[in-house]
Structure 1
Amino acid sequence: MTRAHSISENERPICLDLTRLLSRTGLVHTGVDRVEWAYLEWCLSLDRAIYGLFRSAFGYVLLDRSGLAFAHQHLRAADWGDPDLLSRFALKLSPQRRAAETALRKRAIARSTPARLARMLRRAFPDDVLYLNTGHSNLTRRVFGAFKSLKTAQCVVLIHDMIPLDWPDHQRDGTVEAFEKRMRIVSQYADALICNSQQTRADAERHMTRFGRVPDAIVAHLGVDIPNTPDVRLPDVPAPYVISIGTIEPRKNHAFLLDLWEDWSGSSESSPPYLVICGNRGWKNEDVFARLDGVKASGLPILEFNGLDDAQMMGLMKGAEAALFPSLAEGYGLPQVEAFALGVPVICGDLDIYREVLGEFPVYAETSNAYVWRTEIEKLLQKDSDDRGRVGNDQARFTPPQWAAHFNLVLKHFG
């Protein structure tokens, strides 16, 4: 809930791109969605003029603070009402998206066709504006060109990762080319980048050097918001259990965990705990999907949950003995940070991004050595609950990165 505001006339207005969140209305938020959501809530907390821009099926829509507050209220619940006649012609959109565009158009302070976007922005921002794009959507020459037609404007893009370019074989068909096209446009037109880690910054600079231009960049680690879960209804899971959270796609390496559980269950030495896999099914992972479909018949202690919301996933995480992440690559690793914030131990692959964000708190184990993973899980199952989430001889507690620090850096450099 936002507080009352006295808008400062001396601070540049902020225009946040909401195209990604609008496209995800009514769906469970991914990591990228959650970052854009955090930016929306941050903007609503500021004592300055704030706006939202999104690309609709029929052009661009500009919202003021009131419109942003309305969007914030309805984006997750997706209780938009009925679509109007215009939106009914947008046959490629989901019913929820059609209804959302109808509701937000009614609250727009300005609308434009694509050809008139620059004119709309010049009227709305005659002096200055900071355009923030955090969702990797709406990154087009038209949008950047329209903002650059203003007297003074700064276009800043948050880069989550460059994984599609570094792991192309693990992406959906067509997505690599689309991602590279967007990043080439960012390389050419963005005034500055916000990178969620030093690794992301290095990866972005490596690729954008190849593209011909590297915008200035800052590094600001993402914060963590742990939802309150006292009344959330959780799936019934036998204890003890361990958990893995993330879209079920090749990069997350669920196949490794399935192999580990099959071998462990066939051992006479001990029985594995339940493995709880939380995440929607992704792409190019048909073999893993088939194995998950056969879990019940096989009797393996593995449970798969799709479509859980943040509160449900955090509730299950809180009750886990450990969180397992055998990923081959990560852009940041919000679930890993959230696990430590909840006091849940983490076993993960030895990736540079984990070292940067999580330090020495995880148990690092190579995914080429299943025996080490099993041994470390068994150790955690025997560990006293008071030691969960601690590391090292001094038994230090993990302090998760905070959104306040992230946004302070953003305002320091671009505010």
Structure 2
Amino acid sequence: MQFLFDVSRHLRRLIRTTPTGIDRVDAAYIRLLPDLAGEVTFVAKMPGFNGLRRVDRLLPSAAYSAGQGLDVEKDRIYTELADYLAMPAWPSERGCRRLAETDRAEPSAARVAFTGMRQVFGTRDLPLSLRGSVYLNTSHSGLENTLKIQEMRRRGARIVAMLHDLIPVDFPEFCREGEAAKHHRRMLSLLQHADLIIANSAYSRDRFAAWLATVAPRGELRPAAPPIVVVPLAVENEFLTRDALRPPPSPIPYFVCLGTIEARKNHALLLLLWRRLAEKLGAACPRLVLVGRRGWKVDQVLDLLTHAAPLARHVVEVADLSDPAVASLIAGAHGLVQPSLVEGFGLPILEANALGVPVIASDIPAHREVAELAGHHGISLVDPIDLPQWMGAVTALASDRFELSTRVALPSWRDHVRQALDVVRDHFGPANSSAHATPKNNLASTRPV
């Protein structure tokens, strides 16, 4: 079985130092598929070309963005952060200090794609017949391009995609303008053309089922959904080898919040909480390290970070850290705090748990699943809008740092990719693999329940 793995998103994001959750998934598959899947061809949609093209000689070193594998001592941002955390007291400033590669220009997606194309030494057309191949997309990227997916099916490829979430459809208020309609087209593309969907969580699977119920009005024929199998995400090696990490020394306890600064991540609650803690505890207030790039619809949060002087002595914002730096930072924390209002999974919780670091996270469906994967050890789930409960949980952890004595063995990315490949092979086994991929019938003969 030949796999055609889509690296379009990966090529566009090569310049990013700190990968997002979806970036990590793409990177893991790029790194591991050649070893675990056997015959693999990397494909991508390139500006200036129609359809997908074969990407030749994708370098293993490109399987992460520029900062991956970097020694933390050579990570300038991490060094600056470690020096800042080592200070017994932070200076009074107008707003919270921000450490990031702010001097680096952000190229357009097209220019990054063309740069990536040169880095992988060119592309070429795919064969006309893709019979016996499986097109695999783990990023959502390009799924809204129905013509591209239809063309892959017409040429004989089976379509497998990973479902990360339906947040743009369910919660458009948290997303960029136009993202809800775009994600709706992605889901329609999966519904109409996918042979198999791999969901990162039961929550994502269930939200897809709920969305499916809205596609056809009650009383009409409902589109038939492809099979959906849940394969939970995994943990990077950096988070599985604590002894190799170099946590920063800090005379003041600190907490870490990891993730893009966007509305659904609920950073506003944390900043309000830390302002209350500063008023209550003064110099004994723990520190908060916000790790992530700035996103969208967070004007209030950015105003607080920029202009709230009472927070400046206790909160720091950091972006562009390498994975080893993020792992080292979390390893030295009193806890990870993740107050998201909605998630498709909750990877930072698993990563902190793998390091033996306690977690305070919002009590939402995806986080409950992740807590169950970790055996509920050291993970406290709190209502994401209950400020007093958050204050009590943070205050308790700040007063007494401890490392989890009991931990569940968490899956590595090799475990995850192997499981996903087993699911694909089982689905397209001898009973199914002989049949040629044909256009799907979009309507089932069953009525909605």
2:150 counterpart letter in structure 1: G
Tell me the SS of whatever aligns to 2:237.
Answer: coil
Corresponding residue of 1:39 = 29
Residue 108 (structure 2) pairs with residue 97 (structure 1):
no
Residue 43 (structure 2) pairs with residue 53 (structure 1):
yes
Matches within 5 A, 1:130-279: 130-139=134-143, 140-151=145-156, 153-211=157-215, 212-227=223-238, 239-267=252-280, 271-279=284-292
2:384 counterpart letter in structure 1: T
Offset from partner CA, 1:92-151 (integer Å, 9 cap, x none): 5465433222333x443x23xxxxxxxx4424x3x4101100011121222221221234
How many residues of Structure 1 are paired with residues of Structure 2 in the alignment?
370
RMSD: 2.6
Contact residue 34 and residue 40 of structure 2 kept, 8 A: yes
For residue 395 of structure 2, the aligned residue among 378, 389, 394 is 378
Q: d(CA) in 2 for partners of 1:389 and 1:75? A: 30
2:117 counterpart letter in structure 1: E
1:148 counterpart letter in structure 2: R
Residue 8 (structure 2) pairs with residue 19 (structure 1):
yes
The unaligned stretches of length 5 or more in structure 1 are: 1-11, 79-90, 112-119, 391-395
For residue 128 of structure 1, the aligned residue among 128, 132, 148 is 132
Deviation at 1:237, TM superposition (A): 5.6
Offset from partner CA, 1:24-69 (integer Å, 9 cap, x none): 01113111011011111121213621101100112232035xx13x
Q: 1:223 to 1:283 in 2, by over 3 A?
A: same
For residue 338 of structure 1, the aligned residue among 334, 344, 351 is 351
Q: d(CA) in 2 for partners of 1:16 and 1:146? A: 15
Q: Could you tell which deviates more after superposition, 352-361 or 21-30?
A: 352-361
Contact residue 226 and residue 338 of structure 1 kept, 8 A: no
Corresponding residue of 1:281 = 294
Corresponding residue of 2:99 = none
Q: d(CA) in 2 for partners of 1:187 and 1:348? A: 32
Corresponding residue of 2:408 = 398
Contact residue 40 and residue 72 of structure 1 kept, 8 A: no
Q: d(CA) in 1 for partners of 2:308 and 2:234? A: 36
Tell me the SS of whatever aligns to 2:53.
Answer: strand
User: Which of structures 1 and 2 has the larger relative contact order (alpha carbons within 8 angstroms, sep 6+)?
Assistant: 2
Tell me the SS of whatever aligns to 1:397.
Answer: coil
Contact residue 277 and residue 303 of structure 1 kept, 8 A: yes
Deviation at 1:172, TM superposition (A): 0.9
Corresponding residue of 1:85 = none
Corresponding residue of 2:338 = 325
Corresponding residue of 2:428 = none
Q: d(CA) in 2 for partners of 1:162 and 1:25? A: 25
Q: d(CA) in 2 for partners of 1:131 and 1:213? A: 20
Q: d(CA) in 1 for partners of 2:109 and 2:407? A: 46
TM-score, L = length of structure 1: 0.82
TM-score, L = length of structure 2: 0.76
Tell me the SS of whatever aligns to 1:122.
Answer: coil
Tell me the SS of whatever aligns to 1:51.
Answer: strand
